[in-house]
Amino acid sequence: MVHFDSTNPSSSSKSSQSQNLKIRKVRNHRNSGFKSRDQSPQRIKDPPPFDICSSVLERNDTSIKDWILADETNRETVEVSNKHKVIRPGMVLLKDFLTPDIQVDIVKTCRELGVKPTGFYQPGYSVGSKLHLQMMCLGRNWDPQTKYRKNTDIDSKAPEIPVTFNVLVEKAIREAHALIDRESGTEDAERILPVMSPDICIVNFYSETGRLGLHQDRDESEESIARGLPIVSFSIGDSAEFLYGEKRDVEEAQGVILESGDVLIFGGESRMIFHGVKSIIPNSAPMSLLNESKLRTGRLNLTFRHF
């Protein structure tokens, strides 16, 4: 919010000039995204917001709300799909966890948030290089150079995470716990994969040529990392070849295909694994999703975490 100094009618001309000057300062500051342009170049020219959809559809999140009501009714009973898999201790893949209708609702919600001034942009570094994706932050702002910060500037506070998204994350972790207990024959899942309530969501959109090198998610608080609070990742759209491993070595990394509707969770002793997106598989998104959501060709990825 921009605050202007109060003036009397006789000073309206000076007030107008002062207001215009302050607006220009805010816009220049918004364009840089930081207090100092030396820190990072992103948003220097403030291009038009990136739209993840090819046309505008009316938002309708009744599918998620109906699912939440049904989930609350059957909260004590968690059905575990035979397609789900424990990849390694603390790392779980929930296949087809997000139903087609919920995927459409998520796309529409992300599109609505993404075309606003605080929406999608291409992050980069001060040396001029940029990531091969479009990014939007919810809950708290983050970028690859200056890491987390509460607000980028006075007019670009990160939007709140939709409550429905947090409920989906909670449900996914419960289902992962049920799978771990079933496969281990114990009731020790919360020690292996801690409970996490997200206060950050980083939304990435990868085009067909998008990718992300091997890295660790290590910018969260020391407490969050020490407790092994998990990263929860939603995949929507085109499939991705996801790599993970103990070292930052592509040759030694293992891979798994993440398809539309899949949820990947890694925490506990897997919290600090190296991971990345090697490639996007073109034309692999469900046609029904593209028709109903108008999502552009590519992959929409939401990663939830707790700072």
List the binding residues for Fe cation: 215, 217, 275
Nearest to 304 by CA among 227, 213, 204: 204
Residue 136 has φ and ψ, to the nearest 5°, of -140, 140
Cα R_g (the chain), whole angstroms: 21
Annotated binding residues: 215, 217, 275
Handedness of CA 221, 223, 226, 228 (dihedral sign): negative
The phi, psi pair for 60, rounded to 5°, reads: -150, 100
User: Within 10 A of 88 (CB to CB), how many other CB atoms are there?
Assistant: 14
Task: Please choose, from the candidates 89, 80, 86, 78, the residue with its C-alpha nearest in 3D space to the C-alpha of residue 267.
Answer: 89
Question: What is the spatial distance between Cα 276 and Cα 225, in angstroms, rounded to a whole number?
Answer: 18
Residue with tokens 């575990």: 80
Question: What are the strands of the beta sheet with 254-258, ordered from one edge?
Answer: 212-215, 274-280, 240-245, 254-258
